[in-house]
Structure formats: structure tokens, C-alpha cells
Amino acid sequence: MPKVALFIPCFVDQLTPQIGVDMTAVLRRVGYEVTFPKDQTCCGQPGFNSGYWDDARPLAERFLRVFRDAETIVCPSGSCTTMVRIFYPQLLAGAAHETEAREIGKRVFEFSEFLVKVAKVTDVGASFPHRVTYHDACHALRELHLKQEPRQLLQAVRGIELVEMPFSEECCGFGGTFSTKFSAISAAMGETKAGNAAQSCAEFITSTDPSCLLQIDGILRHKKSPVSTIHIGSILAQTGDAGGAR
């Protein structure tokens, strides 16, 4: 059985662990043995994005160490995957691990990217009889160039009605520390996103990225909207045997 190592973003580990559980179930269903390198913590993105490259660098080196023996790494976040694949080479340029930093990017995959491009499956045997709209997470879309992969997976789900919202590629406004440093701007962007999603009359907003969903969910519940968010992994984990989606 081929093996994959889970890369669970720190905030998913602490705040939304069900996403990791659901992703594990899907990966096993399509025939992978799943491991979880327990020494993992954070990829370093919050510090890197805030300009604290010296504080982020040891965490990047730590990540390289923890995942050194993993042949394939799968992550339920386009953003954390981007940190490793796109930004590690820049963060570790000129450092001892520069070559390794360039190399690991070829082994780390965002979850939907992994399923479609590596495992070569689009139908994972899921069932989710709901009206769903997909939000293009910025890092997944513009750094990893994933546009069709998550949609292909969703379209193959039984019972799903996948609808496009207007401006699906517009940022939700999360942006890490931006969401609290510039909370008014971030919230205005989130409200715009939630409004666009509402126009699609979907019951659920899904995405590759739990951080976008954190933001969108926060806005929706603050406004007492009936619309819910759900990670793509949690949709793909539904087989129709276990009852409700939430």
C-alpha cells in the first residue's frame, strides 16, 4: 500500500481537527496508508508573512527534519503547502538547507491536488446531497494554480449540486495576522465574500483552505446567516452512511 504523511496545519490541529480526521478517511478509502509524523508543529508561515524571517527559519528547518523521510506529504491547506513549496526556497536561500528546501516542494501536496494529480482519482465515493459553492483560496489558486482540481472532486460527489458564486476568485480577507491587524478591512472583504456566496443560494461554502473557512464562517455566524462552511475534505469524507453533514 502506498504511504502518505499527513501535514496538519497547527491551527487545524488545535481548532478544527475534524478536517484532519476526514482527510485521513478519504486517503485511506482511495488506498493509501496514512502516517502522522508527531513531531510536526507549524510550518512557520505566520512569522514569515509578518516579516519575522529569522524567527520563521528554525521552524522551516524543523519541518524539513520532521518530514525528511516522508516520500509524499499531504496537507489540507493550499496556504501551508504554498509556504513549504513556494516560500521555503526563498526563506532558506543561502542557508545550509537550501537544496533540501527546494526539493521538499516536489513532495508536498495540497489535498485536492494530491488526489487529482498524484493519486489520479476524482471520484472518491462520496455522497453529499446539498447545494455547495466553492471558494477559490488565494494561495491554492494563484500560487499552486489549482482551479479545476477541487471542482473535479466535488463534481464527482453523489447528490451534490455544485454552483459557482460571482467573483469566486476574490479574496475572503483572512490573510493571517492581517485579519486582526486590519480587522475592519478584513471584515469588509469577508462580508463581500459572504454576500457573493449568498447569491449562489448554496447551503454550504467549501474550499481547500481551513483558514479562509475560519474567516467566512466567523462572518456568517456573526451575521447569523443560515449558510455553513465545510472543508472539501469533510465533504469528500461523507459516504452517505453516517447521516448529517455537520
Partner 1 sequence: MTTAAQDFLRNAAVKSADLIHRKTIRNSIDHYDSAVVRGRARFQNWEAAREKCQAIKRDGIEHLDRYLEEFESKVNARGGQVFWAENGEQARQYIAALAAKHNVRTISKSKSMVAEEIHLTAALEGKGIEVFETDLGEFIVQLRKEPPYHIVTPAMHLTRGQIAELFKEKLGGIETDDPSMLVAAARAALRRAFFSAEMGITGANFLVADQGLAAISTNEGNADLGVTLPRIHLVLAGIEKVIPRMQDLAILWPVLAASGTGQPITCYNTLVGGPRGANETAGPEEFHVVLLDNGRSELLADPEQREVLHCIRCGACLNACPVYRNVGGHTYNTAYPGPIGSVLTPHLRGLNQFQHLSYASSLCGACTEACPVKIDLHHHLLENRRNAVSDADRPLGERIAFKLWGWSMGGASRFAFLGGVGKFLLRALYGLGIEGTAIDPLRPWTKYRAVPKLAAESFRARWSKNHAVE
Give contact residues for partner 1 (rule: CB under 8 A).
8, 10, 12-18, 20-21, 24-25, 36, 38-42, 44, 46-56, 58-59, 62, 138-139, 142-143, 169-171, 173-190, 192, 214-215, 217-219, 221-222
Nearer to partner 1, 92 or 138 (CB): 138
CB 94 within 8 A of CB 204: no
Nearer to partner 1, 99 or 177 (CB): 177
* Nearest-approach distance from CB 14 to partner 1, in angstroms: 4
Q: C-alpha angle with apex 106: 210 to 3, nearest 5 degrees?
A: 75
* Nearest-approach distance from CB 161 to partner 1, in angstroms: 26
Half-sphere exposure of 242 (CA within 13 A, CB side): 13
* Nearest-approach distance from CB 69 to partner 1, in angstroms: 16
Tell me what percent of the chain is helix, strand and coil, each rounded to the nearest 5: 50, 10, 40
Nearer to partner 1, 42 or 154 (CB): 42
* Nearest-approach distance from CB 173 to partner 1, in angstroms: 6
Nearer to partner 1, 122 or 218 (CB): 218
Nearer to partner 1, 106 or 246 (CB): 246
* Nearest-approach distance from CB 33 to partner 1, in angstroms: 12
DSSP state of 164: P
Q: Where are the beta strands (DSSP E) in the chain?
A: 3-6, 33-35, 73-75, 108-110, 131-134, 161-163, 204-207, 228-231
For residues 137 and 77, what is the distance between their CA atoms, to the nearest angstrom?
9
Handedness of CA 141, 218, 17, 155 (dihedral sign): negative
